[in-house]
Chain A
Amino acid sequence: MTAPVAPGTIAVVPPRYGPGVVGGAEAVLAEAARGLRDRGHPVEILTTCARDHYTWANEFPPGESDDGGILVRRFLTRTDTGGVHRERIGARILNGERVSLSDQQLWVNDSLRVPDLWHHVLDHGTGYRALVFAPYMFWTTYAVGQIVPGRTILMPCLHDEPTARLDIFRPLMGGARGVWFLTDPEADLARRLLDVPARHAVIGSGIEIPGSYQPDRFRAETGITGPFVYYAGRREWGKGWSDLLAAYGDLVRQYPVDLALVTSGVGAVDAPADIADRVIDVGFVSDETRNNAMAAAVAYVQPSVMESFSRTVLEAWCAGTLVVANAQSAVVRWHVERSGAGLAYRSQAELTETLRFVADRPDAAAALARPGRAYVEQHYQWPVVLDRMEATLDAWLPGPATAGVGASDSVPGDGVAQAGDRP
C-alpha cells in the first residue's frame, strides 16, 4: 500500500512525466500540474517509470519524489504480453472492421499495463479531490480512469481516428465526472462518437510565448537564405507529411517558384529525387531553434488531420507566421476560421495553389498572419486556462474547504456546470 493522500489533493495522471518526455498531452498535463500548484492546490503526479512511449521501458525509478513541490508517484510498467493481439486487432481497427468487445479489451490490455498504479487508485482514489487523465487511449487513462469515475476528469485529446470509435471508450468518457476538451471541434467530435457527460467544458491549453525571435540566427545556423515554408513534427503515418511532399512537388514542378520546404522533427523525409535538393531537413531541434524557424518561414504548414489541439499552429502565430492548414482537420480549420490568420486547403490541389500564393506574395502572407498572435494571447495563456480549470473543478468537484467531500466516489450536488468562456 502506498502512502495516504493529503486532503483536497488533485492527482494528475499522465502516462509519462519528467525530463526527456515528448508528447502533447503529457506536456499539457505537466504544465497544468505546475500551474495548479502555483495557485495553492495540493497536486500529485501519478505516472509510470517510462520515458519512451514505444518501448515503455522503466527508465525512472519507482516510488515517490518531489518535483518543485509536486509529489510524484511513479509505478512500474508491465509490457510482458508480447503485443501479438494488439498488432493483429489493431490492424483490424485501423481497417475500420467491426471488432468485438472482447477483442477491443484484448487490444487495450496487450501492451503497457501498470497494475501498481491501478491498485494505488483503487486504494486511495476516493481520497483525491479529483484525478485528471489524458490522453484517452493509453491504458493509464482507460483502465485507471474508470476506478473512481465520480472523481475522474478526462482530458481525452481526441482525434478523428478509428480507435476513437471503439465501444470500450464509451464508459470511460460517459462515466467521468467531467471532461476537459482542448477545442470546440474536439468536443463536437466526442459528441458524435461517444457519450459525453453533461459536465464538460472546453478549457484549452496554454502556450508559452517567447520573449523574442531570432530568424536570422536560424538562417545563419542552417545556411538557408531563401524563402521557405516550414513543417515541424513527426514525419510519419497519419501526419500528412507525404501529402505535403506531393503538393510541394507539384508546385515546384509546375511553377518556377523560389520556395524551399524546411522540416524539423523525426521520421524519414523520403523526398522524390527531383525535389530532394529543395526539401531541407534540419533534424530534431530545440524549442528555441524551432521558434526561430517559425519566425523565418513564409508560412507554417500543418498537413495533419489528426489534431486535438495543434500546438505548433499556435506557436507559428506567436512568431507572426501564416498558417497553411488541412481543412480536413476540424480543429485546425476552427483555429484558422476564428483567428483569420491562416489559409485552409481541402485538397492537394488547393495546397499546391496555397503554397504558390505564399511564394508569390509573402507580403500578403505576412499581413494575413497578423491577427494570429493576438488570438493566441487572448485564448491560450496559462492564467486563462487555469481559471477555466479551477472554475470547472469548483463546480464539479468542490474542494474540502467548500464542500466537505467525504471518502466516497460520489460528490455532493448534481448540478451541471459548464465553463462559460470558450478558449
Chain B
Amino acid sequence: MTILMVTPYAPYRDGIAAYAVQEVRRLRAEGVDIEVLSPLPSAAQHHLWLGGPRGMAALARRAGRYERIVLQFSPEMLFGACRGPVERVAVWAGLRLVAARTRLEIRLHEIEYGPLARNPAERRLAHLTLQAADAVTVHTQREVAQLSEAVGLDPGVVTLVDHGASFTAATQVSRDTARAELGLDQAEHVFLAIGFLQEHKGYDLAVDAFGKAGLAGQASLHVVGSVRVDHPDLLAYARRLELLCRVTTGAHLHNKYVSDEEFDRWIVAADTIVLPYREIWSSGVLERAKLYSRPVIATDVGGIGDQAPPGTLFFGDVESLVQAMKERAQTTADRLPPAGAARQSPEPVEEWTVDLDHPRRDDVEAQIRRRVRSRHLGGPNPAGGEAGGASPVDPLLALGSVLRPETLSARPGVSQVKRLIRRVLNWELQPIITHLEALQKATVEAVTELEVARRDGDTHHQE
C-alpha cells in the first residue's frame, strides 16, 4: 500500500512546499512508496483543489486507496475557499471522514484559533477530527499546549516532530564567498530578515529598530523577499518597506524571488538572522539558520520560543529589538577598520577586457567577481554593457511589431473559435495595427535621421 502526502508542492516555492519536498525525498530514499497530492497542479502525481467542503469530500472518497495519508495542514490550503462558518465545519467533517477511512497523520504547520474560539461547532468538529487522527504532529512544545487548549485535546494525542529533520543545505559557500557574491561588505555586521513580504512577518519593525539603533557604518540590515500574491495590502506593505529602507541608512530591501541556493547563501552571509514576526506558528527560516549555526533575534510568538536555538535573543517591542541589534553588532565590532580609517570604496566597474587571441581565465574570473560586487552595491551595471553606445532609437526598435496572440490552442475546438474571432474583429483591428506600425516606423526613421544628423554635427565640430 501507498502513503499519500497532501501538501502544497514544488515547483511552488513556499515554506510548506519546501518542507514537503525534503520529507518526500527522505521517505523515497528510505524506500517508502509515497505519492503526493497538491491543491494546484505541480510536480505532484495528483492535484485536487482542497479549499472547501467539496475538495475535502473528494479527498475522503480517495482516502481508502491509501495505507496512510499525511496532511501538511495549513488554513489556506483547507479553508481558502470557505464562505462562512458552516463550510468550515464541513471541511472538518470531511477530514474526520478521511480519518475514518485510513490512517491520517495531520502535520500542523499553522491553525487559526479565532474561528475555533468563535464557533463551538467548529471547535467540536476539530476536536473530533484531531482525536480520530492516527497522529497529530507539531514542531514545538508550545504549539502542543496551545492546540490542546484551543480544541480541548489531550496533550498526549499531539506529538512533536523536529521541523528541520529533513532539511539539507543548499549551498556550501563560505561566509566570505557568500558576501562577495552578494556584494556585501566583509567587515560589517550583516542582519538578515528573509521570506515572503507580508505584514505579519514584521520586517518593518526590524528596519525601524535598525534605524533607531544607529548602527549604519558598522552594520547593515537586508530584507530579502518578494510579494507572492498581488493583494493590495501586500503590495502596499512592500511599498512601505521600500520607503522605510530608503530613509534608513544601512537598511536595504531586496525585493526579489530567490533560488533555494541564494536563500541559503544569504543566511550564510549573515551574522544575525532577524525574525521580527508579529505572528507565526513555527519558522522554516529559523530551521535554516540553525542548519548554518547562525544566531537569531526573534519575537517570542507562536512556537518560536521552543524552536529557537540556545543563545537566541528575544524581543517584545522595538526598543528591546534595538538593544538586541546593538548587542549582536558588538560581537563583530573587531572586524571593522580602526576609527578614522578611510572605508574602502567599491572598486570601479570596468569594461569587459578580453583578449580574444589570448584569453586568460583568471582575468575574466576577476572581472566577473568585480561585476558581481558592483552590481549588488548599486553601481553602474556592467552587465548592461551597452549603455554608453546605445542609440536613442534602440527603445523604439525594442518595441517590435504589434504582436497578436496565436490562434493555436491544444484544447479541442479553441483554435477554430479563436480564428473565427480574429476574422470577425479583423476589419476593425487591422487598420489600428497598421497605423500603429506606421507610426512606429516613422518614429524610428525620424529619430534615426536626427541621430545621424547629430553625429555628423559632432564629427564636424571635432574636426
B228 contacts A by Cβ under 8 Å: yes
- CB of A149 within 8 A of CB of B445, answer no
List of B residues within 8 angstroms of A420 by Cβ: 354, 359-361, 364
B339 contacts A by Cβ under 8 Å: no
- CB of B448 within 8 A of CB of A418, answer no
Chain-A contact segment, one of B5-13, B83-91, B142-150, B309-317: B5-13
List of B residues within 8 angstroms of A111 by Cβ: 410
User: Binary interface profile of A, 66-110, with partner B (CB < 8 Å = 1, else 0)?
Assistant: 000000000000011111000100010010001111110110111
Interface residues of A in 366-423 (CB under 8 A from B): 409-411, 414-418, 420-422
Report which residue of A171, A191, A236 has the largest number of chain B beta carbons within 10 angstroms of its beta carbon.
A171
- CB of B384 within 8 A of CB of A54, answer no
Q: Which of A1, A115, A149 contacts B28 (CB 8 A)?
A: A1
- CB of B262 within 8 A of CB of A175, answer yes
- CB of A100 within 8 A of CB of B228, answer yes
Q: How large is the interface on A (under 10, 10 to 19, 20 to 34, 35 or more residues)?
A: 35 or more
| A149-B414 Cα distance, complex, nearest whole Å | 38
Report which residue of B12, B256, B258, B404 has the largest number of chain A beta carbons within 10 angstroms of its beta carbon.
B12
- CB of B405 within 8 A of CB of A56, answer no
User: Binary interface profile of B, 379-410, with partner A (CB < 8 Å = 1, else 0)?
Assistant: 00101111000000100011011011110111
Chain-B contact segment, one of A223-231, A316-324, A341-349, A354-362: A341-349
- CB of A421 within 8 A of CB of B448, answer no
A146 with B398, Cβ < 8 A, contacts A115-B45, A167-B226, A198-B372 known: no
| A333-B174 Cα distance, complex, nearest whole Å | 41
Nearest CB in chain B to that of A103: its residue:
B230
A62 contacts B by Cβ under 8 Å: no
| A195-B224 Cα distance, complex, nearest whole Å | 15
- CB of B229 within 8 A of CB of A170, answer no
Chain B min CB distance to A6 (Å): 19
Interface residues of A in 106-121 (CB under 8 A from B): 106, 108-111, 113, 115-116, 118-119
A149 with B170, Cβ < 8 A, contacts A101-B257, A198-B372, A328-B398 known: yes
- CB of A417 within 8 A of CB of B259, answer no
Report which residue of B29, B403, B408, B410 has the largest number of chain A beta carbons within 10 angstroms of its beta carbon.
B410
List of B residues within 8 angstroms of A80 by Cβ: 41
List of B residues within 8 angstroms of A242 by Cβ: 401
| A115-B393 Cα distance, complex, nearest whole Å | 46
| A289-B408 Cα distance, complex, nearest whole Å | 28
B160 contacts A by Cβ under 8 Å: no
| A55-B408 Cα distance, complex, nearest whole Å | 11
List of B residues within 8 angstroms of A172 by Cβ: 259
- CB of A416 within 8 A of CB of B398, answer no
A122 contacts B by Cβ under 8 Å: yes
- CB of B260 within 8 A of CB of A237, answer no
A100 with B24, Cβ < 8 A, contacts A174-B259, A349-B445, A409-B170 known: no
- CB of A171 within 8 A of CB of B400, answer no
Chain B contact residues: over half helix, strand or loop, or mixed?
loop
- CB of A410 within 8 A of CB of B172, answer yes
B356 contacts A by Cβ under 8 Å: yes
- CB of A416 within 8 A of CB of B28, answer no
Q: Which of B258, B437, B441 contacts A170 (CB 8 A)?
A: B258
List of B residues within 8 angstroms of A110 by Cβ: 41
Q: Which of A142, A160, A240, A411 contacts B11 (CB 8 A)?
A: A142
User: Binary interface profile of A, 113-154, with partner B (CB < 8 Å = 1, else 0)?
Assistant: 101101100110000000000000000001100110110000
Nearest CB in chain A to that of B440: its residue:
A347
Interface residues of B in 122-179 (CB under 8 A from A): 168-174, 177
- CB of A415 within 8 A of CB of B365, answer yes
User: Binary interface profile of B, 24-65, with partner A (CB < 8 Å = 1, else 0)?
Assistant: 110011010000100011111101000000000000000000
Q: Which of B45, B172, B262, B404 contacts A174 (CB 8 A)?
A: B262
Nearest CB in chain A to that of B408: its residue:
A54
- CB of A198 within 8 A of CB of B41, answer no
A327 contacts B by Cβ under 8 Å: yes
List of B residues within 8 angstroms of A417 by Cβ: 361, 365
A196 with B181, Cβ < 8 A, contacts A56-B410, A347-B445 known: no
- CB of A119 within 8 A of CB of B261, answer no
Chain A min CB distance to B240 (Å): 18
List of B residues within 8 angstroms of A149 by Cβ: 170, 259-261
- CB of B174 within 8 A of CB of A414, answer yes
- CB of B444 within 8 A of CB of A198, answer no
- CB of B262 within 8 A of CB of A122, answer no
User: Binary interface profile of A, 147-178, with partner B (CB < 8 Å = 1, else 0)?
Assistant: 10110000000001000000110111011000
- CB of A171 within 8 A of CB of B365, answer no
| A219-B441 Cα distance, complex, nearest whole Å | 36
Nearest CB in chain B to that of A114: its residue:
B43
Nearest CB in chain A to that of B414: its residue:
A87
List of B residues within 8 angstroms of A81 by Cβ: 41, 47
List of A residues within 8 angstroms of B257 by Cβ: 101, 167-168, 170-171
Chain A min CB distance to B43 (Å): 4
Chain A min CB distance to B176 (Å): 10
- CB of A198 within 8 A of CB of B369, answer yes
- CB of A101 within 8 A of CB of B226, answer yes
List of B residues within 8 angstroms of A191 by Cβ: 381, 383-385
- CB of B261 within 8 A of CB of A188, answer no
A31 contacts B by Cβ under 8 Å: no
- CB of B368 within 8 A of CB of A198, answer yes
A348 with B441, Cβ < 8 A, contacts A108-B11, A122-B21, A150-B261 known: yes
B227 contacts A by Cβ under 8 Å: yes
Interface residues of B in 342-393 (CB under 8 A from A): 354, 356, 359-361, 364-365, 368-369, 372, 381, 383-386, 393
List of A residues within 8 angstroms of B410 by Cβ: 54-56, 79, 83, 111
Report which residue of A94, A108, A175, A411 has the largest number of chain B beta carbons within 10 angstroms of its beta carbon.
A175
| A128-B426 Cα distance, complex, nearest whole Å | 52
Chain B min CB distance to A190 (Å): 9
B460 contacts A by Cβ under 8 Å: no
| A346-B372 Cα distance, complex, nearest whole Å | 33
B435 contacts A by Cβ under 8 Å: no
Chain B min CB distance to A186 (Å): 13
B118 contacts A by Cβ under 8 Å: no
- CB of A146 within 8 A of CB of B403, answer no
- CB of B43 within 8 A of CB of A416, answer no
- CB of B24 within 8 A of CB of A122, answer yes
List of B residues within 8 angstroms of A82 by Cβ: 411
- CB of A106 within 8 A of CB of B11, answer no
Report which residue of A99, A168, A346 has the largest number of chain B beta carbons within 10 angstroms of its beta carbon.
A346
| A44-B369 Cα distance, complex, nearest whole Å | 34
| A195-B384 Cα distance, complex, nearest whole Å | 12
- CB of A100 within 8 A of CB of B230, answer yes
User: Binary interface profile of B, 244-275, with partner A (CB < 8 Å = 1, else 0)?
Assistant: 00000000000011111110000000000000
Nearest CB in chain A to that of B361: its residue:
A420
Nearest CB in chain A to that of B365: its residue:
A416
- CB of B25 within 8 A of CB of A122, answer yes
Q: Which of A99, A102, A150, A243 contacts B228 (CB 8 A)?
A: A102
**17 pairs from A and B in contact (CB 8 Å cutoff):** A83-B410, A87-B414, A91-B405, A102-B229, A119-B28, A119-B43, A122-B24, A122-B28, A174-B262, A175-B261, A191-B383, A198-B181, A240-B401, A349-B445, A409-B168, A410-B169, A416-B369
Having A94-B405, A171-B262, one finds 16 other A-B pairs with CB under 8 Å, namely: A54-B408, A55-B410, A83-B409, A100-B228, A101-B226, A103-B230, A109-B42, A110-B41, A113-B41, A118-B43, A122-B25, A146-B11, A327-B397, A414-B173, A418-B368, A421-B356
Q: B residues within 8 Å of A by Cβ? A: 10-13, 21, 24-25, 28-29, 31, 36, 40-45, 47, 168-174, 177, 181, 226-230, 256-262, 354, 356, 359-361, 364-365, 368-369, 372, 381, 383-386, 393, 397-398, 400-401, 403-406, 408-411, 414, 437, 441, 444-445, 448
Please list the 5 inter-chain residue pairs (A to B) with the smallest Cβ-Cβ separation, ordered nearest first. A175-B259, A191-B383, A171-B259, A420-B359, A100-B230
